[in-house]
Amino acid sequence: MAHKERVFSGMQPTGSLHLGNYLGAMLQWIEWQKTRECIYCVVDLHAITVWQDPAELRKSTRLVAASYIASGLDPKKSILFNQSQVTAHAELAWIFNCVARLGWLNRMTQFKEKAGKDREKASVGLYAYPNLMAADILAYQATHVPVGEDQKQHIELARDIAQKFNNDFRESIVAAGYEDGNFFPLPEPVITGPGTRVMSLRDGKKKMSKSDPSDLSRINLTDNAETIARKIKKAKTDPEPLPSEEAGLKDRPEAQNLVGIYAALEGISVGDALKDVGGLQFSEFKTRLGDASVSKLEPVGAEIRRMMDAPDELDRILIDGAERARAIADPIMKQLRDIVGFVGPKG
C-alpha cells in the first residue's frame, strides 16, 4: 500500500526561535502547507532531554507556537500541537528504542556536540533523542520532513529505523493488510529552505544556534527593529568589499553567510543578490541587510508579542491540534500494537 503524502516537522521550545529556524525550516513549512497535509509540532518532550524550568518550558511552548503562526502557519489548515499531548510519540519511541541499534546512535554527531566532554552526565533521553524524533515522524506515517541541514542525519536514522521495523515484522505487516510489507514509509528529508545552514553572526564557521552564549550571534524572531539593526551592524565581516560573482565568496565565510541571509530574505538567488550588492563595502551592505531583515522580521515579532498576550487562545489552538493529531496517530498505533504482538481490543 503506497503511503499518502504527509508532512511532519517540529522545533524545540527552548527559548525564542531565530533566523536560522526561520530560513532553514519555517519558510519551507509555510510553502508545503499550501498543497499538502501538514503536521507541525512543538517538541516539548525533546526539550526536556536537557533540564528545563517548568515555567520557562510553558512559556517557550507558547512562544514557539505563536512564532509558527506569526510566520504564516495557519492552524486551521495545518495541525499545530505540542508533542507531550499525544502519547503515541512516547509509546512509539519506546518501541523504536528496541528497534534501533546502539551503534546507530553512537554515530549521531549532534549527541556528541550536545553532550560535550562530560558524556557520562548526559541524560539517557538526550542519547535516545533521535529515536523519539523517528517516532514523531512515523507515528503519522509521514513521508516528508522539511528541516535545516543539521537534521539530515537524524532523518536518515529515522529511515533506517523504519526499514528495520518493516523487515523485522514483515509477515505480521503483510497479515495486517500491507501487501508490500511496508508499514512505515521511508521519510524523506526536505532540505530546500532558502537558508538551510545559517551561520552565527559572530563566526561564519559556526551554526546560528539558540545555545550560543552570545545573543549577538543570532537574530531572534522576537527582536525589535532596533535590536535587529544593532546585531547586523555588529556582525563579523572581513576587510574586502563584496564580490560580484558567487565564486568570490569562497573562503569568506562571513561574507557568504551575510549575503546568503540577504538573498534568502529577499527571496532571490545568491547570484542575483550579488548583481545587486557586489562591489559594496560591508558598511553600506549592512544597511541594506538591516533594512531587509527589519522589514521581513519586525512584523513577525510584533505578531508574536500580540499573541503572547493571549495565552488562552494559544492553548486552545494547541489542544485542538492535539486532538486532530491523535485522530491520525491512534488508528496507526492500534495497528502497530497488533503487528508487534501486543494483546488488546480488536477492531
Which residues lie near ligand TYM (CB under 6 A)?
A: 8-12, 20-21, 24-25, 43, 46, 133, 136-137, 145, 147-148, 150-151, 154, 195-198, 207-208
Active site residue 207: yes
38 forms bridges with which residues in the sheet? 7
Give the residue with the Cβ less far from ligand TYM, 59 or 197: 197
Active-site hit among 59, 164, 206, 210: 210
- Shortest separation between residue 89's beta carbon and ligand TYM, angstroms: 9
Burial class (CB in 10 A: 0-12, 13-18, 19+), 247: exposed
Per-residue CA distances from 132 to 92, 96, 101, 154, 305 (Å): 8, 8, 14, 10, 31
- Shortest separation between residue 21's beta carbon and ligand TYM, angstroms: 4
- Shortest separation between residue 6's beta carbon and ligand TYM, angstroms: 12
Of 246, 286, 295, residue with least CA distance to 266 = 295
Give the residue with the Cβ less far from ligand TYM, 12 or 16: 12
CA distance 35 to 80: 16
CA distance 305 to 317: 17
Active-site hit among 114, 236, 296, 334: 114
Q: In angstroms, how far apart are the furthest CA atoms of the chain?
A: 70
- Shortest separation between residue 266's beta carbon and ligand TYM, angstroms: 17
Give the residue with the Cβ less far from ligand TYM, 109 or 281: 109
Of 336, 6, 37, residue with least CA distance to 172 = 336
Give the residue with the Cβ less far from ligand TYM, 67 or 182: 67
Active site residue 112: no
- Shortest separation between residue 275's beta carbon and ligand TYM, angstroms: 24
Give the residue with the Cβ less far from ligand TYM, 138 or 317: 138
Of 173, 100, 103, residue with least CA distance to 133 = 100
DSSP string, 96-129: HHTTS-HHHHHT-HHHHHHHTT-GGGS-HHHHHH
- Shortest separation between residue 205's beta carbon and ligand TYM, angstroms: 12
State which residue has the least CB distance to ligand TYM. 24
CA distance 4 to 331: 15
Query: Pairing mode, if any, of strands 144-146 and 188-190?
Result: parallel
Which conformational region is residue 52 in: left (phi greater than 0), alpha (psi within -120 to 50 degrees), or beta? beta
Give the residue with the Cβ less far from ligand TYM, 124 or 343: 124
Chain-centre distance for alpha carbon 229: 26
Active site residue 210: yes
Which are the catalytic amino acids? 114, 207, 210
